[in-house]
Amino acid sequence: MCYFLTLVSCWLASWMASAFGLLISAAFSNPDIAPTIVPAVAVPLMLLGGFFASLPNTPKFYYAFQYLSMFKYQFQAIVFAQFYNREDGFTITLRDGSSATYNGNILA
């Protein structure tokens, strides 16, 4: 089940990335502008998706933009697929053999 949820999540993320590229290319008529705009838009969306920092560590101004981040939903789906356990929520086994359990929000 974990493998298939990860596979579907990555497949849907590739669709979202294609749609994002089409949106940017349709928004600007000059083909030289689009490659310069994509990093300026994608990096803040990655920040809000939870790749670089958790959401409580970002300024509160950006909280409204987290729902526009295409990376947030794939990141949450992959974390859910890898670490969710029906008995005790999220359990992560560490390298030293100990385990950490989280029952709250994925990105909090």
Tens of pLDDT, residue by residue over 6-61, are 899 889 989 988 998 888 888 888 888 888 888 888 888 887 777 777 777 777 88
> In the structure encoding, which two tokens stand for residue 20, read together?
């994002």
Q: What one-character DSSP code corresponds to residue 68?
A: G
Q: Does residue 105 have a pLDDT over 60?
A: no
Q: What one-character DSSP code corresponds to residue 33?
A: T
Tens of pLDDT, residue by residue over 87-96, are 666 666 777 7
Q: SS3 sequence, 37-54? A: HHHHHHHHHHHHHCCCCC
- pLDDT, residue 65, reads 79
What whole-number distance in Å separates Cα of residue 99 and Cα of residue 108?
18
Helix-helix angle 70-83:34-49, to 10 degrees: 40
Between 102 and 67, the more confident residue is 67
Is the CB of residue 49 less than 8 Å from the CB of residue 107? Answer: no
- pLDDT, residue 15, reads 92
Residue 14's H or E segment, with its range, is helix 2-27
